[in-house]
Structure 1
Amino acid sequence: MRIYVPPNEPFYDDTEEHRRLVEAANRGRAEYPRWKAMIDRLEDRYSLQNESLHILAGWVDSAYSARVYRPKDVEPVPSLSSRASLSFHVSLLGPYYGIHDRGEPDEIPAAVAEEIEATYPGYRPIPPELGNEVVPDVAMDTVSMGTATIYMCLFSPKWTWVDPV
C-alpha cells in the first residue's frame, strides 16, 4: 500500500504491469455478460458458485473464476471434503483457461472445457507442466515470494482453492 512507501517512491500501483492489469479488469467488466451467460448455462447442470462478481464492483482481478460442487462435496457435516472439487478460470490477460480438478472420474471437466471453448473461441488450456512452474520473483496477496505458479499469476491465487487429491 502507498502508505508504507516513502514519499515520491514508486510502488506497484504506479507500474506499467498494474496499468495493464487494470485495463484487463476493465475489459472483464465490459465483457461480463458473456461470462455470466456461460455461468448460467453451467449452473443449469451443476451446483456452481460464481467467484467473479467483485469484478463488477471495480476490483482488479486477472481472471473470471468459478467453483463446481459435486454432489459428494456437500455434506450435512462440514469437512475438508465439503470444499469444491473443481474450479475453473478464464484469463482476462490472454486467451487461456484453466480447470483445477481433484481428478474425479466424471464428465464435468470435459463439459466445462467444452463450454469455455464454445464461449471463448481461441482460448486454450495451459498444460500442467507449464502452469505448475514456479515464478521465482513473484509474491501475491496470499502467496509467498517464490511459491507463485504460472497458474496463480494468470488466474489469481484462487487457483489454490481446490486441492488435488
Structure 2
Amino acid sequence: MKTTRSELLDIIYRFYPRGVQQIMRIYVPPNEPVYEDTEEHRRLVEAANRGRAEYPTWKAMIHRLGDRYSLQNESLSLFAGGIEPAYSGRIWLIDETALSFHVSLLGPYYGIHLPGIPEEEPVAREVAREIEATYPGYQPIPPELGNEVVPDVELDGVMMGEATIYVCLFSIVWTWVDP
C-alpha cells in the first residue's frame, strides 16, 4: 500500500490545528484561542497517553535492539508527561554518529533517519524488521514525502512553515540526526 501526501496531511491536521501558533495564554488577548484549547491538541494529548499505556511494547523492542547495539531511548519524556507524537530511539554506529528511528503514535508509520555512512545499511534493515514485527501494519514514510514542509502548523520548537511531515509525526527528535 502506497502512502500519499494527502493521507499524511489528513493525519497531521487531526493533531495540529492549521494556522494556530503555540504561544502561552498570557501572550494573547482574552477570549482569543490558543493551541492548548483546540480539539487537535486534545487528540495529541490522548495519543501521548496511549503511548504511555502501550510503552511496554516499545520497551521490549528497545531491549531486543539494545542487546545488539549501543542504543539510547529518546522516549523517556513521555513518562514526565511529555506530549510526544512518537516513540524515538537512537543507535550509535561509530564515534558520534547515530541513526534514529521513530514509531508514530498518530498513525501506522515509522521512520529511520540515516546519517549517510556505509555502516548504517545493515542496522537500518534490522531496525525496520524489528519495528514491522513489533508493530504489524506500520509502514515507513518515504523521504520524498517526509521531508515536505507542512506550511500551516507550528510545533513546540518549530516555527510555522518550517515543520516537515517527519517532524509532525515523529517530533523534533527527528532533527537530532544530521544526514
Q: Do the structures match in fold with TM over 0.5?
A: yes
What's the CA shift for 1:7? 2.2
- Tell me what 1:31 maps to: 54
Structure 1 runs, 4 residues or longer, greater than 6 Å off: none
SS of structure 2 residue aligned to 1:143: coil
**Structure 2 CA distance, aligned partners of 1:19 and 1:49?**
29
- Tell me what 1:136 maps to: 151
Residue 168 of structure 2, aligned match among 144, 147, 153: 153
1:3 equivalenced with 2:37 (yes/no)? no
What's the CA shift for 1:6? 2.0
What's the CA shift for 1:4? 1.4
Alignment of 1:18-97 (within 5 A): 18-70=41-93, 72-73=94-95, 82=96, 84-97=97-110
How many residue pairs get matched? 154
**Structure 1 CA distance, aligned partners of 2:160 and 2:41?**
18
**Structure 1 CA distance, aligned partners of 2:44 and 2:84?**
7
- Tell me what 2:20 maps to: none
- Tell me what 2:113 maps to: 100
**Structure 2 CA distance, aligned partners of 1:89 and 1:24?**
15
- Tell me what 1:77 maps to: none
Among the aligned pairs, what percent are the same residue? 75
Aligned partner letter, 1:116: I
**Structure 1 CA distance, aligned partners of 2:29 and 2:65?**
48
SS of structure 1 residue aligned to 2:131: helix
After TM superposition, the score normalised by the length of structure 2 is: 0.82
SS of structure 1 residue aligned to 2:51: helix
What's the CA shift for 1:146? 1.4
Query: Which structure's relative contact order is higher, taking Cα pairs within 8 Å and 6+ residues apart?
Result: 2
**Structure 1 CA distance, aligned partners of 2:89 and 2:26?**
33
Q: Which runs of 5+ in 1 are unaligned?
A: 74-81
SS of structure 1 residue aligned to 2:112: strand
SS of structure 1 residue aligned to 2:32: coil
